[in-house]
Amino acid sequence: MQGVNTETKPRSRHPSSLACLPCRRRHLKCDAAMPACSRCQSSRIECQYIRSKRGLRSKNKNHSPQLLDDDIPLFPDISTDALDWLDATVMPTDLEPNQSIFQALNTPQTLDLELPRLPDYTPTWTEPEHLTTPDVAFDPMIQLYYQNFHRSHPILIPRKALNTSLCRRIPAYMLSIMRYIGAHYHSDPSFKEVFRESAHVAMSETTPRDGFKVQGMLLLAIMTHAYCKEDRAHETMQATIQLSLDLGMNRASFAEQNSFGSSIFEESWRRTYWELYVVEGLLAAMRDQSTFRLYSQKADVSLPCDEESYNRSESLACCNQNLEDLRHNWSYGENQQIFSSFAYRVDTVRVLGMVLEINHSLEIDVQNKVETADASLAASLMHLPSSQHDVYGTASEEMTFQIQMIIYLGMIHLHHPRSNMRFACFHAETSCTRLRALCGETFVSADLDLHSQKLLRAANMLSNLATLPTPVRQRTPFFTCALAMCVIVHTAACLMAPVVDLEESLKARIQLGVGGLNVLGRVWPMAKMAKQQVVGMYQEVGLQRR
C-alpha cells in the first residue's frame, strides 16, 4: 500500500536479563560468560544465574501471571489499588533527600533479588543465603520496613548500617521479622505468609537469650496486637520485659558491653529498652490497667539521641540524659538542654502512666492528683520544642506525632471517667479500647461540664492528627486505637448534639475517624475490625435518637 512506511523501527531493549546474580546485586556490567562470568572469576565468588521463566505465564485468572525476567515491574500491580503502598512522596529517613527508596529505579536489577515464590518457599531457621548477603539493605521487603514502619518504632540499626559489616551481627530471624512487617505494605498479601513462620523463630525457646531476641519479641508483640490478639500480645510483652530485665537492659552497662564496639548498636540497645517502656505503656492504656511494669522500674539507661543523627549512622556519643533531667529541664531558662523527640515521647508515656495510676486509685479524694496530671499533659505540649515540628514524613516528625497522640490519649483517659458524657448509653468497647459508659435510664444534660469539654477537645485534637500530610497508613499501628477512641467520644457527644448544637461537626469528626481506620485497615486487621465496631456504635446511637 502506497504511503505506508513499512520500515521496521528498532525495538527498544530492556536491560538484558542475561547477567549473573552477584553482578545484578552490585549493578555491574556482566559479560554473562558460562559457567562463570569473568568478574566473578576474578573475585573468586560463586557465579549464579536466574533460570529463565519464558513461556511460563499462568493462564489462571485467579493467580497473578509469572513475570519474565525482562518483565519484572518496578511497581507491582501499578494498575490496581495497590498504588496505595507507594502513595507517599516521603523519602525514607535514613536516605539523603535526593535518594529514592529504591536505589537507581532506572535499573530493574535492584528488584531482581530472587525473592522466594509461593508455594515453593518454605521458611526455616535461616533464610537462604542470597536473602541474607550481601545486599540486605536493598531487599524490597526490608526497604518497605524502613520506609513505612521503622520511623514509628526506631529500635533496629538504621538502613544505612545494613550496608556495612554491622549487618553480619544481625540474626537471620531478625531479617525475617523485618521482611514480615515490610510485606504488610506490599501490594501482594501472599508475601506476609512467606515470612511469618521464620519471623516467629524469635519466640522459640532455642533462640539465644540476648538483645536481638528482645527486639524481635517486641516487634512481634506489636504485630500481635495489630492482629487483634490482645491477650497474646500482653503475654508476649510481659515475657519480653522479663527477658530484658534478666539481661540487665535497664542498666547503662548493657548497651556498652553488647555493642560489638559500635556506637550504633549501643544506641540501638538504649532505644530498645525505652521502646519497651513506650509500648508497654500504650498497651496498658488500651487494656485500662492500673499501671505498667516499667513505670516503676529503676533504670539508669540514657535517653535516645535525635533521629537524624541515628539514621545517618554516624558515630554516636551517649547523650547521658535521663528522665529526671528532662522532667526538670523547663526550669533551666536559657540554659535548657536539648532532648530528642524520642526522649519527649518516653516522658509523655510516663505521664500517661500517672493517669492510669490515678484512675485506679482507692483514695477518696484524688482531685489534686487529677489537676496535677492535667497540668502535666498540657505542659508536655507547651514545652515541646518548635524544632520538633519541622518536616513532615521524617523520623522526628513521626516521634512528634506520637507525642501528641499519647498526650491526647492521656487527656481522654483522665477526663472521660469524670465527665457527664460517660453516662451516654451505648456499647462503647472495641477490640482496642476500654472506655465504659454508665448507662442511665435517661441521658439528658443541659450542657457539657468542664471535664466533658476537655474530653471533647482532646478527641478533636487527636482526630486532627489524621489530617497531617504524612499518609495515615505509615503511622504506628497504635494509631488504630487512638482513632477508635476518638469515634467513641464523638459518638457519645452525638447523644448531646441537640443540646450543644454540634451534630454536623461531630458527624464530620466521626467520618474522619472511620476514614482513618479504613486506610489503616488495608495494613492491619485490628483497624478493619475496629472500623466495623465503631460504625456499629454510631448506627446504634442513630437508632436511639429516632
Give the Cα separation of 327 and 55 in Å (integer): 66
pLDDT tens for 348-397 read 999 999 999 999 999 888 999 999 999 999 998 887 766 555 556 677 88
Give the Cα separation of 463 and 25 in Å (integer): 44
Give the Cα separation of 471 and 474 in Å (integer): 6
Task: Supply the pLDDT for residue 540.
Answer: 72
Give the Cα separation of 147 and 161 in Å (integer): 15
DSSP for 285-353, written as a single string: HHTT-S--GGGS----PPPP--HHHHHTT--PPP----HHHHHTGGGGGGGPPP--HHHHHHHHHHHHH
3-state secondary structure 205-237: CCCCCCHHHHHHHHHHHHHHHHCCCHHHHHHHH
3-state secondary structure 399-434: HHHHHHHHHHHHHHHHHHHHCHHHHCCCCCCECCEC
* Max Cα–Cα distance, the chain, nearest Å: 100
Give the Cα separation of 22 and 39 in Å (integer): 9
Task: Supply the pLDDT for residue 442.
Answer: 44
Task: Supply the pLDDT for residue 88.
Answer: 36
pTM here is 0.75
Grid-cell match 505498667, residue found: 292
Of 73, 244, 222, 99, nearest to 159 by C-alpha is: 99
468 burial (CB, 10 Å; 0-12 / 13-18 / 19+) is middle
Give the Cα separation of 463 and 452 in Å (integer): 16
Task: Supply the pLDDT for residue 434.
Answer: 67
Give ∠ CA 417-362-403 in degrees, rounded to 5: 50
Give ∠ CA 80-85-88 in degrees, rounded to 5: 120
10-residue stretch averages of pLDDT, the chain, 546 residues long? 45 54 76 80 72 45 35 30 33 37 32 35 38 70 96 95 92 95 93 90 92 97 95 96 98 94 94 98 93 93 91 74 77 68 94 95 91 94 67 79 96 93 67 63 62 94 94 96 93 71 82 96 94 84 60
> Residue 501 corresponds to which cell in the numbers above?
448544637
The β-bridge partners of 430 are: 433
Of 251, 249, 253, nearest to 241 by C-alpha is: 249
* Run of H or E including 484: helix 479-494
Give the Cα separation of 192 and 77 in Å (integer): 17
> Residue 405 corresponds to which cell in the numbers above?
497522640
Of 293, 404, 398, nearest to 353 by C-alpha is: 293
